[in-house]
Structure formats: C-alpha cells, structure tokens
Amino acid sequence: MDSLTQIVLGAAVAEVTLGKKIGNKAMLWGAIAGTIPDLDVLAKQFTDIVTANEMHRSFSHSILFSVLAAPIFGWLVSKIYRKSKEATWKQWSWLFFWSLITHPLLDAHTTWGTQLFWPLDLKVSYQNIFVADPLYTLPFLVCTAAAMFYHRTNPRRSSINRLGIILSTSYMALTLGLKGYTYFKFEDSLKAQDIEYNEISNRPTPLNSILWTANVDADSSYFIGYYSIFDTQDEISFNQLDKNRDDFKEIMKEEIVQRLIKLCKGWYIIQMTEEGYAFNDLRFGMFSFGEETEEFVFRYDLIYVDGVLTVTQRQPEIDNAKEMFAILWSRLKGN
C-alpha cells in the first residue's frame, strides 16, 4: 500500500500495543516502523532495475525480517528513552514487531504482493485492493489522528483508535467479497461468450473497489475485461490481445527476459518498438479502462547495446490525467 496508509497502520497498531503506557510516542515510533520495510526501494540506487524489482517486497517484507529487526529497533529506542524508563526493551520490541509485520500483511492484499515467507520463493498476492484506496485510508486516518488528541489513559483514545482499525479491516473484508463476486461475473460472461480459458486473474482498478478488471489467459491470447458492480448489462466486453510468443522466441531465451517473466508471474506481452522491444507486465493493467488500446501501465524497454540486452523501466506517461480519471469515473458508474 501507499506510504501514508502504512504510516497510519503502524501508528494505530503501536497505539494498541503500547499507547496506554507511553501515549503519542507509541504512535510516532509505530508510524516510523510502518515505513521501514519500504526502504528496500533504495536498492534501485545500487543495482539494475530488474534486480531491484526482484528485491522489492522480499526480505524486508518477510516474517523473518520482522522477527529479527524488532528486537534490534526495540533495543535502540529503549536506549533513547533509558532515563525515563517508560517502557522496557521487550515492550518496545513488541511494538516494533507488530508495526513491522502488519506492513507486509497489508501489502499482501495488493497486486505486487509480498514474500512473507522469504527465503522461500513464494509471493503472497490476494489482489483485492489497489495500492492506494481512499475508502480504506481516510476513515482510518481520521480515527487515528483524532485519538492523538486524547490523554493516553482516556478510554475514548483507545475506542477511537480501535474504531479506525475496525473500519479499515471491515473494508478490506468487503473488497475480498467483491473480488469473489466479480470473479464469478467474469467467469459467467466468458462461458456465455464461449471463450475457453485457462486462468482468470481479477483485481480492482485505481483508487476504488467498484470497477474491477480481469486478465484472462486463453492459450494463444489474453482477454482483458472490465466490470463495475453498477453495470446493468450482463455481458462483459473483452479486449483480445494476441500473445505472439512464436515471434519472440529468440529474445525469450535471454536470461534477463526469463527473470522478467518470472517477476510478472507469466502475465506479459512482448511488442516490437522502433528501438527494440517492449515487455509489458499485464498485472497492472492499461490506461484505457476498457477502450481499445495496447498502452500498458507497467512496461520495460528492451534494447540491444553492443550485443547485450539492456533493460529500463518506462515510467507511466500520463498526458492528460484529467481525461484519464474522467474515463475511469464514467466507467466506474456502470454501463
């Protein structure tokens, strides 16, 4: 999830753990702990983009990291407050453990997922919430911020903080239900259109849990469709994209391309460009929200330089964000 959400979650969990004893200091250190796992993004400054993306949400987002790091951070903070003796090393360690572990547990619900069980090569990804969702974050933020203004011993403080956790958790449960509901909608529409398929992968579109999209693997093609829970038409329109795997057999033998294929869990399309190739990760969708296009959000440019295949990640280019969000809003309201 986005940094703000992780800060709020870390603060709220720390308040439950130690807030009654040390007040807002618990929220402060919980917020800091909630951001620590995402420091793995600094790997981009020291290594190539593929390696950095492989490292993202791996060790720092694992149960092992939380277990190992919590007592270290707990010890450091206990030394900072050694004169006041407000909390013991064990209590600080407990605060850091819960603020650290809830970070990857939350991220596991997003499309990228997390390697919770690192060093096992297993990524947990439920794909039931977008990386930033105001309906999850804002009520949570309001409750956590409001709790800060009450004294640590005031029962209202813990009640308001607990309300924020209940609201966010309830919304998360709702998105899991919506994922299941929309999955069957996609499945029924595929069957009604006699489209044979191997796998369906559905997830919400940006900033909401109303409009959902699905990638459908159908041997030589992918089908991509969109469904809003406000849709009135039963049949979902799918955009068919040819995989054209035979056209790219040679480049697919490259070790770096095999790593990209593994990174995107096999959901990819390779296209020719003027400079070389574009490797598109289908898991993060398109900019169109259902209109005909082949412009993907997550793309790597592959170019041979002196016989060596180089990889760069293209940042999303949004020429007209207002128009894009207008399309999203229009499609979200139903067809």
Sequence spans of domains, the chain: 3-175, 193-332
pLDDT of residue 122: 93
pLDDT tens profile 30-48: 999 999 999 999 988 899 9
B/e letters for 265-276, b = 16+ CB within 10 Å, e = fewer, are eebbbbeeeeeb
CA atoms within 13 A of residue 173's CA, in its CB half-sphere: 6
Tell me which H or E stretch contains 78: helix 63-80
pLDDT of residue 314: 84
Three-state SS for 143? helix
Q: What is the pLDDT, as a whole number, of residue 289?
A: 73
pTM for this prediction:
0.94
Lowest mean pLDDT among 5-19, 137-151, 197-211, 311-325: 311-325
Judged by phi (left if over 0) then psi (alpha if -120 to 50, else beta), residue 206 lies in beta
Average pLDDT, the chain: 93
Residue whose pair of structure tokens reads 């159908």 in the numeric block: 218
Q: Which of 184-188, 194-198, 205-209, 284-288 has the lowest mean pLDDT?
A: 284-288
For the chain, the C-alpha Rg in angstroms (whole number) is 22
pLDDT grade for 106, boundaries at 50, 70 and 90: very high
Asked if 169 and 181 touch (Cβ cutoff 8 Å), the reply is: no
Q: Is 206 exposed, middle or buried (0-12, 13-18, 19+ CB in 10 A)?
A: middle
Q: Please check the confidence at residue 317 and state whether its pLDDT lies above 90.
A: no
How many Cα atoms occupy the beta-carbon half-sphere of 257 within 13 Å? 21
Burial-class residue 282 by CB neighbours within 10 Å (0-12, 13-18, 19+).
buried
CA pair distance 288, 283, nearest whole angstrom: 14
Q: Give CA–CA dist 44/38, Å, rounded.
A: 12
Cα–Cα dist 271/201, whole Å: 22
Residues 243-301: tens digit of each pLDDT: 999 999 999 999 999 999 999 999 999 999 999 999 999 998 887 776 555 678 889 99
